[in-house]
Amino acid sequence: MDVLLTNLIKGNLFPRAVLWIISQPSGVKKIPAKYIDKVLVCKEIDAQHRLTEIGKNGILAAYEMELIETETDSELYMIDTNNEDEEKLVKTYNEIFTDLKKKTVRTVLTKGVAGIGKTFQTKLFMFDWAKGKSNKDVDIIVPLRFSKLSKRKEALSLDSLLKSIFHDVAGVEKKKVAFILDGLENNELPLDFDNNTELTDIKKPASMDVILTNLIKGNLLPNAFVWIISQPSGVHKISNEYIEQVTECRAWAKDETQDSFFTWNKDQVRPLLAKAEDNIEAIFPLDLSKLDLIKGKPISFMELLNYFFMEIKELAISNYARFKLVFVLDGLNACQHLLHFDNNETVTDVREQASVDVLITNLIKGHLLPTAQVWITSRPSAAEQLPDDYIDRKTEIRGKMVILIFTKVFD
């Protein structure tokens, strides 16, 4: 056998054959170098690249089919918390961890109503990274949900939490990590930023609340990115001082500036929408008696309009503040919802969910769409429930004038 092997290696046997000899370093000297044409060294992929590949492969396996088959119908906007009128569309996922001045930030909070597409945006962000299209400086993305983290009652370290996901996280302190913390509104932990002990060692066990507050503050993994996702109801759970940039997830605006005209017909009352030069005007006739159809469940004002006006839903309007709006609230006397104007619940965002009563009272008060005009019709008996503080002008229709006014509207 020894003669056969040596002659095979020398090339006396099968001289046109190709040989690949595998050996540990300790056995290399057993064959003289003159019989070896080329030496290759097999090295283990370093832990950083291995962890990155594991993360990317996991994301591609989990989301690729879903994202290929589903089109996004939402988009992200950077918001200036000091000036809500200043905003910027997030065009690429490289901009997630930047502010309006294109400066890199560590901690970002994205808000948006339920079902708008916030979680879907995080999946697109991860998929984009896994494909190598964006955030190439990030080594690993860690998606976590507040609802599950809240159930972790035992003391554990951040290192052990990461190992429960990736098994091997050696040298994670030197890696660029991006955490996605989704569902802040479902968080049940106190998030006591003021009184929790400071924690900088990722291997030191602590409560989940201590780990999260120190991660968000930047005491744990200060070079990591943190992207927090929340419905409006959960935003207050983290103080603004720990958030460097706020973004908002909105319905994708297909074309808010297109010329569109909706008409009235005998079977259905439909919104009138018209464009006159740069001024966009819309009239929404709302039959208050029909609000009983959506009684008993929270709904946003945007969802309410989409429910009654299918044309508006198809336009996917994301910014109603751009419109000059008139709301005709018809038949206050037939409204089954009692309008409690002494209720202190304030709603200013058309995407925020509340009861129908709260939405209508906030519209009338001017908290919702403050630039809109509101025309309420009612029989005298029901008109008395409207406080004078919220009524700028009263008119009265008498006798045959009713016919004249409605003729003008419908013509």
Question: What would the pLDDT profile of 121-130 be if each residue is shown by its tens digit?
Answer: 999 998 888 8
For residues 16 and 65, membership in a common domain is answered with no
Higher pLDDT, 91 or 316: 91
Taking the C-alpha atoms of residue 380 and residue 236, their distance in angstroms, rounded to an integer, is: 42
- Which residue carries 């630039």 as its tokens? 371
Please report, for residues 3, 122, 364, 377, the alpha-carbon distance to residue 329 in angstroms, rounded to integers and kept in the order given: 101, 39, 10, 6
3-state secondary structure of 48: helix
Predicted local distance difference test score (pLDDT) of residue 262: 39
Give mean pLDDT, residues 213-227: 97
284 within some domain: yes
> Given CA atoms 146, 148, 153, 157 in this order, what sign does their dihedral have?
negative
Task: Enter the pTM of the model.
Answer: 0.57
For residues 139 and 246, membership in a common domain is answered with yes
For residues 186 and 217, membership in a common domain is answered with yes
What pairs with residue 33 in β-bridges?
Answer: none
DSSP one-letter string for 241-268: GG-SEEEEEEE--S-TTS-------SS-
Higher pLDDT, 311 or 219: 219
Asked whether the beta carbons of 237 and 109 are under 8 A apart, the reply is no
391 within some domain: yes
pLDDT band for 205, please (50, 70, 90 cuts).
very high
Predicted local distance difference test score (pLDDT) of residue 216: 97
Mean pLDDT check: name the lowest of 196-200, 204-208, 277-281, 360-364.
Answer: 277-281
CB neighbour list of residue 333: distance below 8 Å, 6 or more residues apart: 378, 379, 381, 382, 383
262 within some domain: no
Predicted local distance difference test score (pLDDT) of residue 29: 87
**Residue 267: pLDDT over 60:** no
For residues 69 and 139, membership in a common domain is answered with yes
173 within some domain: yes
Exposed e or buried b per residue across 11-29, where buried means at least 16 C-beta atoms within 10 angstroms of its C-beta: eeeeeeeeeeeeeeeeeee
For residues 106 and 158, membership in a common domain is answered with yes
Predicted local distance difference test score (pLDDT) of residue 71: 66
Predicted local distance difference test score (pLDDT) of residue 348: 85
7 within some domain: yes
**Residue 131: pLDDT over 90:** no
Q: Which residues form the domain of 372?
A: 272-410
For residues 191 and 129, membership in a common domain is answered with yes
Tens of pLDDT, residues 14-65: 989 899 999 888 888 889 999 899 888 775 545 556 556 666 777 777 766 6
**Residue 355: pLDDT over 60:** yes
Mean pLDDT check: name the lowest of 154-163, 275-284, 288-297.
Answer: 275-284
Predicted local distance difference test score (pLDDT) of residue 217: 97
**Total domains in the fold of the chain:** 3
**Residue 318: pLDDT over 50:** yes
Tens of pLDDT, residues 166-204: 777 777 888 899 999 999 999 999 999 999 999 999 999
For residues 280 and 400, membership in a common domain is answered with yes
Asked whether the beta carbons of 398 and 352 are under 8 A apart, the reply is no
For residues 63 and 195, membership in a common domain is answered with yes
* Closest of 283, 385, 404 to residue 335, by C-alpha: 385
265 within some domain: no
CATH number at 155 reads 3.40.50.300
pLDDT band for 81, please (50, 70, 90 cuts).
confident
264 within some domain: no
Mean pLDDT check: name the lowest of 262-266, 331-335, 372-376.
Answer: 262-266
Task: Read off the tokens for 292.
Answer: 């009983």
For residues 117 and 229, membership in a common domain is answered with yes
Predicted local distance difference test score (pLDDT) of residue 275: 43
pLDDT band for 253, please (50, 70, 90 cuts).
low
Mean pLDDT taken over the chain: 81
For residues 52 and 124, membership in a common domain is answered with yes
Higher pLDDT, 255 or 101: 101
Give mean pLDDT, residues 388-408: 60
Predicted local distance difference test score (pLDDT) of residue 223: 95
Task: HSE, CB side, 13 Å, CA atoms: give it for residue 370.
Answer: 5
Give mean pLDDT, residues 202-208: 96
3-state secondary structure of 251: strand
Asked whether the beta carbons of 74 and 120 are under 8 A apart, the reply is yes
Task: HSE, CB side, 13 Å, CA atoms: give it for residue 304.
Answer: 30
For residues 16 and 96, membership in a common domain is answered with no
Task: Read off the tokens for 266.
Answer: 């005998």
Which of 26-35, 269-278, 343-352 has the highest mean predicted lDDT (pLDDT)?
Answer: 26-35
**Residue 259: pLDDT over 60:** no
Amino acid at 58: G
- Which residue carries 């984009």 as its tokens? 128
- Which residue carries 């839903």 as its tokens? 313
pLDDT band for 274, please (50, 70, 90 cuts).
very low
pLDDT band for 277, please (50, 70, 90 cuts).
very low
- Which residue carries 């060692």 as its tokens? 201
Taking the C-alpha atoms of residue 38 and residue 229, their distance in angstroms, rounded to an integer, is: 54
260 within some domain: no
Which of 139-153, 262-276, 348-362, 382-396 has the highest mean predicted lDDT (pLDDT)?
Answer: 139-153
Asked whether the beta carbons of 77 and 250 are under 8 A apart, the reply is yes
DSSP one-letter string for 311-373: HHHHHT---GGGSEEEEEEE-GGG--S---TT-------TTSEE-HHHHHHHHHHTSSSTT-E
Task: Read off the tokens for 37.
Answer: 């044409």
**Residue 305: pLDDT over 60:** yes
- Conformation bin of residue 327: beta by default, left when phi > 0, alpha when psi is -120 to 50: beta
For residues 18 and 70, membership in a common domain is answered with no
| CB atoms inside a 10 Å sphere around CB 331 | 17
Give mean pLDDT, residues 102-129: 92
Last-in-domain residue among 198, 221, 251: 251
Taking the C-alpha atoms of residue 152 and residue 165, their distance in angstroms, rounded to an integer, is: 14
* Closest of 153, 190, 185, 159 to residue 172, by C-alpha: 159
